[in-house]
Chains A and B, each alone.
Chain A
């Protein structure tokens, strides 16, 4: 097996496996930690319905940031919506229900949002005071992944990214035809996924705990 065959045909599985493992480990670890002192924050939204409503609203509007830090909200909201859009349009694209254009538009939005946030962190006095290397690194890492994906998904001769991804999904990987830039995108994207659960960006798991298991736990 050549290096490029490995990256195209094996690495994506390792990536997904490590991502799921890392995320699962975080989840189980936090689930195993008791919350002896109930650090409830009142008012607690009424009932499961109220909590769901709060969560859904927060996830789809980022209302907390919207209210208190509008400048960052613009960047963060579009960043997360771009990620959601990317996944959604990718699925539609794979199913032949959508052209490739919205997928690439999502990547552009992602990249622009990231550049904006990096700029904001460097130029807003308070955000600059709070930001460490880690914040910039995470943002830049994702920006590089987005840029690499944009380059890789630009029309390339005859090869279709769709065929490649479908091949992966059906466990018949066929990556021989991937070009160098595409291999790079797969590699960087994979690294990011492996890193994600161990980074501070693990809030896609942590929020469940901080809201449901701490803030909303009644005495």
Chain B
């Protein structure tokens, strides 16, 4: 039997994205089982994973909440169907009933074709967790997607841009955009000049200040794409008279490990925490970035080294919000007269509970504000979540499928500005606005906040 199978063994199909180095086809099944076993044994995800792999009711409530399924209506985009790709393997190989009764209890031996379906499926889910909100059994398909991605990552499947960026980041003094330290310092100087021009007063961007309260780390792409966000953040720290610094040894908060590799996640997180320790900062503040914030908040306890456990990790949203509450920010909303709406990045909203902080900041900084429908816990993903925005191969999919619901939602607000405090959402939303020709601009939260901040001209 097995020889016949070998002869007819198929070739790789055309995958939706390019990976650097997938394992040879015939080695994948064995490796998948080994990796899954390792994950189950490591016990990092014990309770949630065991619950989710064991208890789906196949009620399909998730599909009606998933923006991907809503856009395609395709059976393979049913969240429970996709999760079942992994669930049935788990049951076949790791549960007594599955071993004993096989298909009778929904268990199935994994094949190379199943793995192809996983490569396709787990990169059609943005891990937004919207479908978990109204799951009667509180099952979260996004965690299954994540575990599926970690396994695929071990098999060599992950978008090339993602693994490439991580490689660059993990080099000595590296970062995902490969910006050399000297160029980075030049960028900071340039931003300081911009700040002076805009605010009319000198606003420093402190570097390597030992003992500062906050070590600030942005997704490094912000230094190329989102200067206004960084300017707004510097203004906010300055206005609040906070003690803060940027570390020039490691200034990149991006942690793509969240999307495909626990091993990488651990390394990247600890490098960042090491920078906070080097500069003796008590709090690591992550810039406007959903995935980096979540990687820090959720995984510090399990993957952070024991000597870094005392370092606090916070989102810039929490920090700025605290400044606002303490009356340390003087804001003039008249500086932002246009109608503004707010997009909840999935990793900051459903993933970290930061719903009200950004809204209170915005309400204080703009004249006209409108909520999207639905909003907060049920807000739609931008369609580029889960790292999909990084994979250039998936651009068309993100525009025509992943972000379709978001576009409808944006259009209905009639807002002139959509605010999204997340580097990935920003990229995706900007592309959506362009692709679908929306009469709207994208801004970061601190872009808007920075505009509204008022400084005394004569100190």
Q: Which A residues contact B (CB, under 8 angstroms)?
A: 30, 33-44, 58, 62, 64-65, 67-69, 72, 76, 125-127, 129-135, 137, 198, 200, 202-203, 206-207, 209-211, 213-215, 219
Contact = CB atoms under 8 A, between A and B. Distances in A.
B63 to A, nearest CB: 6
A130 B140 contact: no
B300 to A, nearest CB: 10
- From DSSP, what is the main secondary structure of chain A's interface residues? helix
Contacts of B81: 129-130
Contacts of B52: 210
Contacts of B78: 126, 129-130
B447 to A, nearest CB: 25
B57 A41 contact: no
Given A134-B105, A203-B137, A219-B297, 19 more contacts: A35-B47, A36-B46, A36-B301, A37-B301, A38-B301, A42-B377, A43-B377, A62-B136, A68-B134, A129-B75, A135-B58, A200-B57, A203-B57, A206-B51, A207-B137, A210-B48, A214-B48, A215-B138, A219-B352
A194 B44 CA distance: 32
B48 A39 contact: yes
Q: 3 shortest A-B CB distances, which residue pairs? A: A42-B353, A210-B138, A68-B64
Given A35-B48, A133-B103, A210 B60 contact: no
Contacts of A58: 136
28 contacts: A33-B50, A34-B43, A34-B46, A35-B47, A36-B43, A37-B299, A39-B143, A41-B129, A41-B138, A42-B352, A42-B353, A69-B61, A72-B61, A76-B59, A126-B78, A127-B60, A130-B60, A133-B104, A134-B106, A200-B54, A200-B56, A200-B57, A203-B57, A203-B137, A209-B51, A210-B51, A214-B140, A215-B132
A198 B38 CA distance: 25
A100 to B, nearest CB: 32
Nearest to B64: A68
Contacts of A34: 43, 46-47
Contacts of A40: 353
B309 interface: no
Contacts of A210: 48, 51-52, 55, 137-139
B134 A64 contact: yes
Interface string B413-440: 0000000000000000000000000000
Nearest to A201: B57
Nearest to A214: B48
B145 interface: no
Interface string B366-400: 00000000001100000000000000000000000
Nearest to B63: A126
B46 A35 contact: yes
B302 interface: yes
A68 B65 contact: yes
Nearest to B137: A203
Contacts of B59: 65, 69, 72, 76
Given A34-B47, A37-B302, A134-B106, A206 B61 contact: no
B134 A67 contact: yes
B58 A131 contact: yes
B227 interface: no
A131 B81 CA distance: 9
Given A42-B351, A69-B59, A36 B132 contact: no
B350 interface: yes
A13 B353 CA distance: 48
A30 B376 contact: no
Given A42-B349, A126-B60, A206-B51, A37 B134 contact: no
B150 to A, nearest CB: 12
A151 to B, nearest CB: 27
Contacts of B54: 200, 202, 206
Contacts of A203: 55, 57, 137
Contacts of B302: 36-37
A206 B56 CA distance: 10
A132 B106 contact: yes
Contacts of A135: 58
Contacts of A35: 46-48
B66 to A, nearest CB: 10
B97 interface: yes
A40 B140 CA distance: 10
B225 interface: no
Nearest to A31: B47
Contacts of B135: 64
B84 interface: yes
Given A37-B48, A64-B61, A130-B80, A206 B55 contact: yes
B34 to A, nearest CB: 22
A219 B353 CA distance: 10
A154 B302 CA distance: 59
Interface in B117-138: 129, 132-138
B350 A41 contact: yes
Contact of B47 (A126, A130, A134, A213): A213
Interface in B223-251: none
